Amino acid sequence: MKRNIIIILLISLIYSALHCNARVISTASELINLFNNTKLVNEDIDLAADLDFENITVPASLGKKNKTMYTGKFNGNGHAIKNLVMNSKYSASLFFHCGNVTITNLVIDHTCSFTGITAAGLCTEVYGYAVFKNVINKAIVTGQYLYSAGFVGNLSDIEESPVIFDNCINEGTVQGQVYVSGFIGVVDSSYNKVIEFINCTNNGMITGFESSSNSLGGFIGALQDSGYVSLKFTNTINNGSIAGRDFISGFIGRLYRCSQCSMMANNSTNNGNVQGQNYVSGFIGIVESNDETDFVLINSSNNGNVSGSDGVAGFFGVISVDQYGQVMTPLRFSLTGCINSGRVDGEQFVGGYFGEVFNSGTLFNITHSINSGAVNGSDNIGGFFGMMNCQADMVMNIANSRNDGTLTGAGNSGGFIGSMQEITRVTISECSNTGTIKVVCSVCQVGGVVGGVITTHERTLTSSLVISSFTSDSLIDVSCDNCVVGGLIGSIDGTDQTLVSITDSVINGTLSVATNSMGLSVVGGILGYTLNDNENLAISISNCTRNSQITVDNVEHVGGFIGASS
């Protein structure tokens, strides 16, 4: 008997020693009372048991009445918050404001739900640094007006400090009107911050419940009006379906008006189906009005099906300047070892990697990457880019990459790029296309690499399109009223000083074009059509081979290498 008492005393002493600086909470009422009638709770908290809120009414986030800030370390010790059902006229979350906080080893149970004007599983707003480790949210979260998220509603801070999610999971359904996400609803007016996701997963459905819903993402609804913010995703996965209207994505819905920010995704994956109307993708819905911002994706993939109308893609829906057409300073995109295997369906500006790049001074470097997903749309569709329209200087390099996905369109289509306008320097080397291109159109431009190229911006610098060591095994099958089709490039038109070089390339795929009535359609084994009277245009084709058949019906001009020039 004495021995058992001694053992119990020793255990108690050890527990007290380990938790000597922490308040031990065993009941839901103890936690509620701690946040009553105070502006600040500045102490560490350890849970000694599950906290059951059954038959306890909590009208709003803990601390909402007095705008209480919680700062400290909250260790759930593997315990759960249970039966906390909150229907609030204000904010709904476990804590109202958190700052300089660490929350670990906690489960928000599926018996919980948070409904309010703003809503989140853990914190309505976070300031300063925050660390969330081994935390699982299973609660349903509903934001009726502003942000709603599985963990943090709003992160708005000028303090130079990190926010880290480590081995965290959102299992709960999150629904709302705007800024809806599995982890952070919106990052707004934040500076000099690192926001990092390590071994995190979103399994919850993210849903916009009204027709005007926007800025939905598996991890962040939107990052906006911020500077020097670094986003890092490592071994991070979205499995949840995402559905809303505009700016919809598996990772980040919208990245808007940010200066010198960055996003890095390493070994991260979107598996969830993403559905919206405009600016829809597997990773970022829209990148708009940003400057000096870097995007680096390494060994990352989109496996989810993505569907929408305009600006739909496996990785980035739209890259755009601001609403006034001002060209921002360069954005830089680097993708290495990436794969899109998800089906991409849209109307126009539809691509396996990028839907539309519009008027942006941008640098692209894509290497050792693959599109194997089917891409389907009406106009401007491509295995990598739907459309590129870059009035500002743009440099793009695609190397050692391939398109294996089937393209089905009703307008301009290309194995890599649907159409290009105002190019600067584009190099595609050591690449291949094996995906079938099937187009039924009235008027269109189609190519195994690029559908159509237009250069009319009257730059002083010479633009260039260089294709080298390209292999095309693609079947190109076009039925049209009036079309221009080429084994590699559909057409080249414009007045800029432009150098086009095609070298050391091989075409093995069959080219089949049928015109519904005798019109002006042109077909070329390598290049369909070029504007001959443009003295600023120079085209060089060397050491290229076409090994496959060209089949035409009711076509006006056909050439083994070039269909026609005028």
Per the CB < 8 A criterion, the answer to whether 500 and 463 are in contact is no
Kindly give, in sequence order, each residue whose CB lies less than 8 Å from that of residue 557, ignoring residues fewer than 6 positions away: 521, 522, 523, 529, 563, 564
Token readout for 207 is 């849903």
Token readout for 504 is 């050391």
Which of 55, 175, 38, 152 has its CA nearest to residue 94? 152
Per the CB < 8 A criterion, the answer to whether 541 and 526 are in contact is yes
Per the CB < 8 A criterion, the answer to whether 50 and 80 are in contact is yes
| CA dist list (Å): 426 to 308, 421, 449, 498 | 28, 12, 12, 11
CA 243 – CA 250 distance, rounded (Å): 10
Kindly give, in sequence order, each residue whose CB lies less than 8 Å from that of residue 124, ignoring residues fewer than 6 positions away: 61, 64, 91, 92, 93, 95, 96, 97, 118, 153, 154
Which of 356, 364, 352, 427 has its CA nearest to residue 388? 356
Give residue 5's pLDDT. 41
Helix (H, G, I), strand (E, B) or coil at 250: coil
The secondary element (H helix, E strand) that includes residue 14 is helix 2-18
- For residue 161, the tally of other CB atoms under 10 A from its CB is 16
Which of 286, 291, 168, 154 has its CA nearest to residue 235? 168
Which of 156, 285, 277 has its CA nearest to residue 219? 285
pLDDT tens, the chain, 566 aa long: 444 444 433 444 444 444 458 999 999 999 999 999 899 999 999 999 999 999 999 999 999 999 999 999 999 999 999 999 999 999 999 999 999 999 999 999 999 999 999 999 999 999 999 999 999 999 999 999 889 999 999 998 767 889 999 999 999 999 999 999 999 999 999 999 999 999 999 999 999 987 778 999 999 999 999 999 999 999 999 999 999 999 999 999 999 999 999 999 999 999 999 999 999 999 999 999 888 899 999 999 999 999 999 999 999 999 987 554 455 567 899 999 999 999 999 999 999 999 999 866 688 999 999 999 999 999 999 999 999 987 667 889 999 999 999 999 999 999 999 999 877 789 999 999 999 999 999 999 999 999 999 876 565 567 889 999 999 999 999 999 999 999 999 999 876 678 899 999 999 999 999 998 767 799 999 999 987 666 778 889 999 999 999 999 989 899 999 998 87
Per the CB < 8 A criterion, the answer to whether 168 and 138 are in contact is no
- Give a three-class secondary structure readout of 148-193: EECCEEEECCCCCCEEEEECCEECCCEEECEEEECCEEEEECCEEE
Per the CB < 8 A criterion, the answer to whether 481 and 442 are in contact is yes
pLDDT digits (tens, 9 = 90+) for 374-402: 999 999 999 999 999 876 678 899 999 99
CA 131 – CA 196 distance, rounded (Å): 10
Give residue 239's pLDDT. 98
**What letter does residue 505 receive in the DSSP assignment?**
-
CA 114 – CA 215 distance, rounded (Å): 20
Give residue 10's pLDDT. 44
CA 509 – CA 476 distance, rounded (Å): 7
Give residue 458's pLDDT. 60
Give residue 391's pLDDT. 61
CA 92 – CA 267 distance, rounded (Å): 34
CA 317 – CA 127 distance, rounded (Å): 31
Give residue 322's pLDDT. 57
Token readout for 191 is 């500076």
The secondary element (H helix, E strand) that includes residue 13 is helix 2-18
Which of 150, 155, 156 has its CA nearest to residue 175? 150
Per the CB < 8 A criterion, the answer to whether 556 and 520 are in contact is yes
Give residue 536's pLDDT. 77
- Rg (alpha carbons) of the chain, rounded to whole number: 28
Per the CB < 8 A criterion, the answer to whether 124 and 130 are in contact is no
CA 364 – CA 343 distance, rounded (Å): 23
